[in-house]
Structure formats: structure tokens, C-alpha cells
Chains A and B, each alone.
Chain A
Amino acid sequence: MAKGKSPFLDNLGKIYAMYTGGFILFVIGLAFGEKMGMSNASIGYTYMFATIGLYAVIGISSRTAKVSEYYVAGRSVPALFNGMATGSDWMSAASFIGMAGTIFGFGYDGLAYIMGWTGGYVLLAVFLGPYLRKFGQYTIPDFLGARYGGSAARTIGIIAAIVASFTYLIAQVTGVGIIMSRFLGIDFQIGVFVGLAGILVCSMLGGMKAVTWTQVAQYIILILAYLVPVTVMSYNVTGIPVSEVMYGQVLQKIDAKEKVINADPKEIEVMALWKKEVEKIDADLKNLPASLDAKRQALNDSLAALPADAAAAEKEKIQKAIAGLPKNPVEAKEKWEAAKKSATEKSKPIKPYLEPFARLDMLNMLALTFCLMVGTAGLPHILMRYYTVPSVKQARISVGWSLFFIFLLYFTAPAYAAFARNEVLSNVVGLPIAQLPAWMANWAKVGLVSFKDMNADGILQFYELTIGADAIVLATPEIAGLPYVISGLVAAGGLAAALSTADGLLLTISNSLSHDLYYKMINPKASILKRLTISRVLLVIVAIISAWVATYKLTIIVELVAWAFSIAAASFFPALVMGIWDKRANKAGALAGMWAGFLICLFYMIGSRFYGLNWFGVKTISSGLFGIPLGFIMIYVVSRMTAPPSPELQDFVESVRIPKGSAAAHEE
């Protein structure tokens, strides 16, 4: 990379090393403050305002009026730093908070996420990253437009980019709201809009340039926050502070403990009680809507039957129960189905943690891994990042750094899951309910942990306990007996993960609209000032829409995020790969392939989720399994049935394949 570009770029290593040191000192300072009697709430507020303020400073000082800086950070981000930025761009609230919990609950089968979300980078490295850098424009639809000549391919690119990114964005904004409300005790809605301000201030003035440098800063915070608690936990349990290696011993303990639990007569008793519960829910479900009316009637009756001098608390309790009833039969069905599912799980002995394919069959696990991998390599907000490095050479290395930085977290997630599971099995199950550890009560308050003394023996059985996936990472600091300052650090890390991903997604969406739709298709004569202004306005609009949708807290969002992978996998990946690897692929083929992949994927998703469609038992989440191969086949076959691409286009493909020389694209 050329030296002397700017004092900032020349001293990146020093600047971020100082930043990391400064952040650690800040945490130590807060720890000291906690010792001196600083309250939990003020620690939480200090973290939130200090980190968001920091991102804002980076965002504002990276403001720019240059198109290439706004869209691709001036193509001046060194491989290593682009790797860090990609890491936090990639790792969302779900990776940070939810992944360990998924493994905790799913055992071996949950590893589909670990392998899927890392193995995709191998595909990205060999099929796409370096070639897209050589092409060197601004967005992914740009490539589709250039390679497949014209607006049609670009348009599908825009649609798929927005569909895949928008649902994902809402999930991040929701994540920000949840973290804010949980740690600051503020209202979810307010949390969403405070977070929104944090997102906008990073991206609006400086576009990709600002987002890149904030993402590097966010990566450092999120990785520290992730590694500290589990390292201490490992030290507490095994005496050696390397959780990633030491959890092997813990796995064996878990295995032994599970066998004991499944043979315990008390546990068997609880399972039988759950079985009865399932039957009860089943009956209610069958008698809808009468059963719902009966429940409401019964509660109203008992409210009416209360003597006039009854305690207010008693009355309130019944009123609350009435308010908590499903509002209509549709909602009742959904709620009770969920209750039935969790009761059914508890009515049967758990399958061993280490047993493969106990919760997902082999086909579905492999299919899920595959869809997540291909989706990873097809998500536009990730691909876009490889436009920002200075050269093809650095693009190749940068994919390696990206995966390395992601790897640091994913490599540790199974350890988190194992330590938490061991803690629950060895130290929590079997305790008298009155003596449960404080962390359980804390997380029960926000609904992440729940327990119900089914057999009323005053002792907690394993099958009486439910732990939400999000609780694993969030509660580990308390489980390990760490001070509150570390809990706050974890929250700041989760916030960094959500904000950084939201920034990248927001930019992808607004760039698709401003660059691809407006500049390339509607008004190619627009001035630079006009383009950048429109881009910023759209950024704000998209951000506000996403926050507005997030405040509705739709439960379907989490599911939709998983769908985004299959959509990206089925619509983008085949057309991008074939565009580079198959010179014969032409416009007609690409259009057929993208539409077919996108639509079949959508068809199976909606069909299997809502209308009982079932092909080979493949689950909704792996819908891409059909779309991906269909996309490839359509591109191959249709291209060969129609005229080959023009000699210029074939030259263009050649030029993308060879690092030397300029690609057909031009820089501004």
C-alpha cells in the first residue's frame, strides 16, 4: 500500500493498539469505580455512552465528500483491517449472544451454524472475493449489471440485495433495542431509537469509510467482551484459562451427568408430569375456540367471586392472567403450539449432548450447513467489503484475515456452551428452589430463565428448568462470579456486534437504491453532490423504517434472518460464480437462473412454513438446497441455448480473472 496517503492510514496499527489499550484501561477504571461503590446502572450507562460516543467520533471524523470514499472507503483499507471490519460486519447480535446458546440446546447438530458461517469464507475466497476486487466497482448489482449487460440483471440484484439485507437489518435493530433495554432498564422502543442514532452517526457522514473504521473499533470491543468471561470460567473450573482447549474435559463430565439425570426417579416423575401437560394442551388446542372462551370465563368468574375486601394483589394477579390470555384463537393456537413443543421436549429423556443427529437428522444438518455456507458467500454486505482493499493480492489475504477474526469467536462458542451446560448440570440441578444462585433470579426477571416446580418437591429438577439461548453468553459473567463491570462489557460487546452489522446492512441497502437504482438506472447524469446527498437521505429513511418495524417485535423476524441466507445463496451466488467462471454464461441464462433460484427458494420457504409442503423432509431454513443447484443448472443450460455473450464481455471476463491490467470498469 502506498505510504503517505494520510497520517491515519500510515499509523493504523499504532492507533488501534493505543485504542485497545485505552479501552482496557477504561474497563479497569470502571472496575475500580465498582469497588468504590459505583452502581450497576451507572456502570451500564457509562459503557453505553462511552462506546457509542466513541463510534460517533470515528464516524464524524471520517466524513467525506468523495464518491470512492463514501462507497468503498477509497479502496485503501489494508487486508488485516478489512479482515477485522468484515469480522464485526459479519458477526451479528445472533452470533455474539445466540450462537453459544444454540449449541447449548442443540449439541452436535447446532454445529451446523459454526461450520456454515465459517466454511462459507472458503467459497468466498476461491470463487468470488479476489475477482470482485479486480472488477472494482461499488456494489454487487454493479457486477451483475456489467457482466450480464443491462438493467435486468441489475434489477434482480437490487431486489435480492434488499430482501436479504432488510430482514437482517431489522433483527440487528431489535437486538440493539433488547440490549439497551435490558442493561439500562429503559423502554425497548427508546432503546431502538437511541441505537438508531448510534448507527446513523457512524454511517451517514462517511459512508463506507466511516463504517469501516468504526467496525474495526467495534470488533476489538466485541472480541474482548466475548473472550474474557469464558476464559475466567475455564480458569475457575479447570485451573487453566484456555477455554477452547479445556472444555474437552467438561464434555466428558456433561456426558456422565446426563446419564445420571436420565436415570433419576425424580426426573422421571417430572417427565411424566410434562406428558400430562402435553395432553392437556392438546385437548385445549382441539377445542379451540371454545377452550379459550372457557379459560377466560373461568378467570372472570374467579375475579367476580373475590370478596370485596380481598387483597389488591390477589385481584391484580387475576387481572394480569386475563390480560395474558391470547387475544384470539389464532394467537392462542400459536402460543399453545409453542407451549406444547417445549412441554413435549421436557417429557422425554434428553438425547446426549454429544450425540450427532439427535435433534436434526443428517440430511437437514448437512443441508443447513450447506445453505449457510453458500449464503455467507452470497451476502452482499460481506462481498462489498472486498471492494475496499487496495489490490487483488490484498483481497485474497483479507478473506483469510476475515475468517481468522471470525474464527476467534466461533472457535470459543462451543466452549461457552459446554461450560454453561456443565454449570447447570453439576451445580444448579438438584438445588433447593429457595437456594438457587442469584444469576438465575436475575435472568428469570427478563424471561431468559424459567423454572416451575412441577412435582412440588422444592428441589429443582433438570426437566423443570428452561434456559433461553440468549442467556448463555449474557449470564456467564455472573455464573463465573465476575464483577458487574464484566457483565457490562459483555453488553457493550453485544451492542458493538449488532451496531456494526446494522451499519454494513444499512449501507448495502441505501447504496443499492442510490447507486444502482437512482444513479445507474434513473439519472446517470447526476452530479457527485446529488448522488451523495440522495444516498444519505435514503440511509436515514431506511434506518427509520427498520427501527419502526423493529418496534413491533415481530416473532417472525428471527426466522426471516435465517431465510435471508437461503435467498442470498439461491439468487446471488450462482450468477456471481458463473459470471466469473463460465465465459459462456450470458444474460438470458443469468436472468433465468436468478429468477428460478430466487422464486423456487421463496416458494419452498412459504410452502413448507405455512402450507405443509415437504420435499424429502427438508426444513424451511434449508430452502436454498433446491434453489442453489437450480440456479446453476438454469444459467448453464439457458446460456447454451442462446447466443454467446459478445466478444467484449468475454474479454471482460478474462480481465477479471487476471490481476494485471485494468478491468473494464473505471474509477471515479
Chain B
Amino acid sequence: MKELKGISKETLQAYWKANVRLTTFTLIVWFVVTYVCAFFVRELNTIVIFGFPFGYYMGAQGSLIVFVWLIFNYAFKMNANDKKYGVEEEEE
């Protein structure tokens, strides 16, 4: 890997590992707010907040808020990781 001279193999592996960890976390949350919440929607619907049954709310709006947060969280952490491991792209 000629273009990455100056970065050790260990650093690259650590960077990729951090990425996999963050990706796994993101996917677990993604799975829980959609599929687990939908699976238990009847139970969750017994909780009512501001007129919203909670299970319904998660499907209609709650999961969406979490998705937006998840993606920004992933983006900011990954961009910080790029810097931390010295693999950020050259400014164009």
C-alpha cells in the first residue's frame, strides 16, 4: 500500500477496528429502535405520552429521530477518528 507510507500497519488496523466498533454500535441501535420496538409494539403502546402510545410513536417519529442522530454521531466520530489515527484525506 504505497500511498499510505508513514502509517504503520498497527495504526491502520486500530483505525479499522474503531470503525467496526462504531459501525456495530450504530447497527445495534438501528435494529433495536426499528425491529425490537416493532416487535414489542403492543407492550409499548400501554405507555401513553402526550396522547401518543409509545409503540406507535417509535414507528412514526421516535425511530426517525434516532436515525438522524445515529448518522451524525457516526459521521462526527469517524471524522474525529480520521484525525486521531492520522488517516484523514489531504485537503483538496
A658 contacts B12, CB within 8 Å? yes
Residue of B68, B88, B90 ringed by the most chain A CB atoms within 10 A: B68
Interface membership of chain A positions 108-137, coded 1 if the CB is closer than 8 angstroms to chain B and 0 otherwise? 100100110011011101110010001000
Contact of A245 among B50, B65, B78 (CB under 8 A): B50
**A295 vs chain B, min Cβ distance (A):** 44
Contact of B56 among A118, A251, A390 (CB under 8 A): A251
Within 8 A of B (CB), among A230-262: 244-245, 248-252
A396 proximal to B (CB < 8 A): yes
- Which residues of chain B have C-beta atoms less than 8 A from A366's C-beta? 35, 38-39
Docked complex Cα distance between A122 and B63 (Å): 11
A251 contacts B67, CB within 8 Å? no
Known interface pairs A651-B1, A658-B4; A392-B89 also in contact (CB < 8 Å): yes
CB closest chain-A residue, reference B52: A248
A657 proximal to B (CB < 8 A): yes
Interface membership of chain B positions 19-34, coded 1 if the CB is closer than 8 angstroms to chain A and 0 otherwise? 1001100110010001
Docked complex Cα distance between A108 and B45 (Å): 11
B88 contacts A393, CB within 8 Å? yes
B78 contacts A662, CB within 8 Å? no
Docked complex Cα distance between A403 and B30 (Å): 14
Docked complex Cα distance between A634 and B91 (Å): 39
A356 contacts B50, CB within 8 Å? no
Within 8 A of B (CB), among A204-252: 244-245, 248-252
Docked complex Cα distance between A362 and B36 (Å): 12
B92 contacts A411, CB within 8 Å? no
Interface membership of chain B positions 26-70, coded 1 if the CB is closer than 8 angstroms to chain A and 0 otherwise? 110010001100110110010001111101110111011101101
A666 proximal to B (CB < 8 A): no
A404 proximal to B (CB < 8 A): yes
Docked complex Cα distance between A121 and B64 (Å): 10
A119 contacts B87, CB within 8 Å? no
CB closest chain-B residue, reference A414: B60
A264 proximal to B (CB < 8 A): no
Within 8 A of B (CB), among A332-383: 354, 356-357, 362, 365-366, 369-370, 373
Known interface pairs A118-B67, A126-B26, A356-B42; A414-B72 also in contact (CB < 8 Å): no
Contact of A396 among B45, B65, B75 (CB under 8 A): B75
- How many A-B residue pairs lie within 8 Å, measured between CB atoms? 150
Identify whether the interface residues of A are mostly helix, strand, loop, or mixed.
helix
- Which residues of chain B have C-beta atoms less than 8 A from A357's C-beta? 41
Contact of B67 among A122, A393, A657, A658 (CB under 8 A): A122
A657 contacts B78, CB within 8 Å? no
- Which residues of chain A have C-beta atoms less than 8 A from B60's C-beta? 103, 111, 114, 414
B38 contacts A365, CB within 8 Å? yes
A326 proximal to B (CB < 8 A): no
Docked complex Cα distance between A396 and B7 (Å): 23
CB closest chain-A residue, reference B5: A661
B56 contacts A654, CB within 8 Å? no
Docked complex Cα distance between A202 and B12 (Å): 43
Chain A interface size, under 10 / 10 to 19 / 20 to 34 / 35 or more: 35 or more
Chain B interface size, under 10 / 10 to 19 / 20 to 34 / 35 or more: 35 or more
Docked complex Cα distance between A657 and B67 (Å): 23
Docked complex Cα distance between A414 and B65 (Å): 14
- Which residues of chain A have C-beta atoms less than 8 A from B41's C-beta? 108, 356-357
- Which residues of chain A have C-beta atoms less than 8 A from B76's C-beta? 397
Known interface pairs A114-B64, A119-B34; A126-B23 also in contact (CB < 8 Å): yes
A399 contacts B59, CB within 8 Å? no
Contact of B68 among A2, A396, A400 (CB under 8 A): A400
A661 contacts B45, CB within 8 Å? no
Residue of A366, A396, A404, A410 ringed by the most chain B CB atoms within 10 A: A396
CB closest chain-B residue, reference A353: B56
Contact of A390 among B49, B68, B72, B92 (CB under 8 A): B92
Docked complex Cα distance between A2 and B91 (Å): 8
Within 8 A of B (CB), among A646-668: 651, 654-655, 657-662
A662 contacts B3, CB within 8 Å? yes
Docked complex Cα distance between A134 and B34 (Å): 30
Docked complex Cα distance between A659 and B68 (Å): 23
Docked complex Cα distance between A119 and B75 (Å): 16
A407 proximal to B (CB < 8 A): yes
- Which residues of chain A have C-beta atoms less than 8 A from B23's C-beta? 126-127
Docked complex Cα distance between A651 and B67 (Å): 32
A111 contacts B59, CB within 8 Å? yes
- Which residues of chain A have C-beta atoms less than 8 A from B63's C-beta? 115, 118-119
A356 contacts B51, CB within 8 Å? no
Residue of B42, B67, B82, B91 ringed by the most chain A CB atoms within 10 A: B67
A391 proximal to B (CB < 8 A): yes
B59 contacts A108, CB within 8 Å? yes
- Which residues of chain B have C-beta atoms less than 8 A from A410's C-beta? 64
CB closest chain-B residue, reference A664: B3
Docked complex Cα distance between A114 and B62 (Å): 11
B92 contacts A2, CB within 8 Å? yes
Residue of A130, A369, A397, A658 ringed by the most chain B CB atoms within 10 A: A658
Docked complex Cα distance between A399 and B69 (Å): 11
Docked complex Cα distance between A354 and B53 (Å): 8
- Which residues of chain A have C-beta atoms less than 8 A from B16's C-beta? 657
B3 contacts A397, CB within 8 Å? no
What is the interface of chain A, defined by CB distance below 8 A to chain B?
A: 2, 103, 108, 111, 114-115, 118-119, 121-123, 125-127, 130, 134, 244-245, 248-252, 354, 356-357, 362, 365-366, 369-370, 373, 390-393, 396-397, 399-400, 403-404, 407, 410-411, 414, 651, 654-655, 657-662
Q: List 13 A-B contacts (CB under 8 A).
A: A111-B56, A119-B63, A122-B71, A126-B26, A127-B23, A357-B41, A369-B38, A370-B35, A393-B82, A399-B71, A660-B4, A660-B87, A661-B3
